[in-house]
């Protein structure tokens, strides 16, 4: 794992998943900007992180400003907000690693897999942002409640990391492992369709079996 502490922007950091990631990454020593569309919500989210972890480096900015400042950008917004958010930061993320955790949930049928045209939300991001942006898909299957609760545990959920650039995938694998999760290279951006679709299944399992944040585990022994 690299010891480099990238500057990280979490777009949509006022939501449950984004706030949880911002908290865990800040606790792991990364400088974090919480991006938002509304200044008051961003300020409240940053204040909440500082209350939970007083000594971390976290600030709030508008999404484009946060993206411009960061070296690695994480987008954690609802599917309906994906395209507007991409449009607002397209220029600022050129040449950077862009992590897309978008899940194409389409209410009210959120327990039914409904992938968008083109195959996956992350692939749509790659096509819109262009080849100069290294889009990586990750964190769709991690329950926000686990991230927000405090200390992470590898037993909670594995992270599937998809993207066309292996080096960018490795950066994301390192970020996930820095906050206590087990992460796996899962191939090209096209494979993100599996992680995105699994979220609807996990939501179904949570409801059916009353699980508090179902996750996935990759089993088997890794060869030398």
- The answer to whether residue 223 is domain-embedded is no
Tell me, yes or no, whether 35 lies in a domain: yes
Domain with residue 190: its CATH number is 3.40.50.720
Q: Indicate whether 145 belongs to any domain.
A: yes
> Is residue 1 in some structural domain?
no
Instruction: Provide the domain count of the chain.
Output: 1
Note whether residue 187 is domain-resident: yes
Q: Which residues in the chain show pLDDT less than 50?
A: none
Residue 220 lies inside a defined structural domain of this protein: no
pLDDT for 153 = 61
CA 214 – CA 198 distance, rounded (Å): 11
Q: What CA–CA distances, in Å, run from 28 to 113, 132, 151, 173?
A: 33, 28, 11, 14
Residue 57 lies in a domain: yes
Which pLDDT does position 103 carry in this prediction? 96
pLDDT of residue 6: 97
What phi and psi values does residue 13 have, to the nearest 5 degrees? -70, 0
Could you tell me which of 185, 92, 80 has the C-alpha nearest to residue 130? 92
Q: Is 41 helix (H, G, I), strand (E, B) or coil?
A: helix
CA gap 34, 10 in Å, rounded: 5
Q: What is the pTM of this model?
A: 0.96
Helix axes 192-209, 121-129, angle to 10 degrees: 150
The Cα 20–Cα 40 span in angstroms is 18
Q: What is the pLDDT of residues 18-31, one digit of tens each?
A: 999 999 999 999 99
In a domain, 75, yes or no: yes
Q: What range defines the domain where residue 143 resides?
A: 8-209
């Amino acid at each position: 794992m690299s010891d480099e502490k990238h500057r990280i922007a979490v777009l949509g950091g006022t939501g449950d998943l984004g706030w949880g990631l911002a908290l865990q990454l800040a606790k792991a020593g990364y400088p974090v900007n919480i991006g938002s569309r509304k200044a008051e919500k961003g300020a409240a989210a940053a204040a909440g992180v500082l209350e939970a972890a007083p000594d971390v480096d976290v600030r709030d900015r508008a999404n484009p400003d946060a993206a411009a400042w960061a070296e690695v950008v994480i987008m954690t917004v609802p599917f309906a907000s994906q395209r507007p958010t991409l449009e607002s930061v397209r220029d600022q993320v050129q040449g950077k690693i862009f992590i897309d955790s978008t899940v194409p949930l389409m209410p009210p049928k959120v327990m039914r897999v409904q992938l968008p045209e083109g195959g996956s939300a992350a692939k749509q991001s790659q096509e819109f942002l262009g080849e100069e942006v290294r889009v990586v898909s990750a964190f769709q299957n991690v329950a926000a409640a686990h991230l927000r609760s405090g200390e992470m545990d590898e037993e909670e959920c594995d992270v599937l990391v998809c993207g066309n650039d292996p080096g960018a995938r490795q950066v994301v694998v390192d970020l996930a492992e820095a906050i206590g999760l087990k992460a796996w290279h899962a191939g090209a951006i096209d494979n993100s369709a599996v992680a995105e679709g699994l979220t609807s299944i996990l939501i179904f399992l949570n409801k059916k079996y009353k699980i508090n944040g179902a996750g996935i585990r990759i089993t088997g022994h890794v060869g030398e």
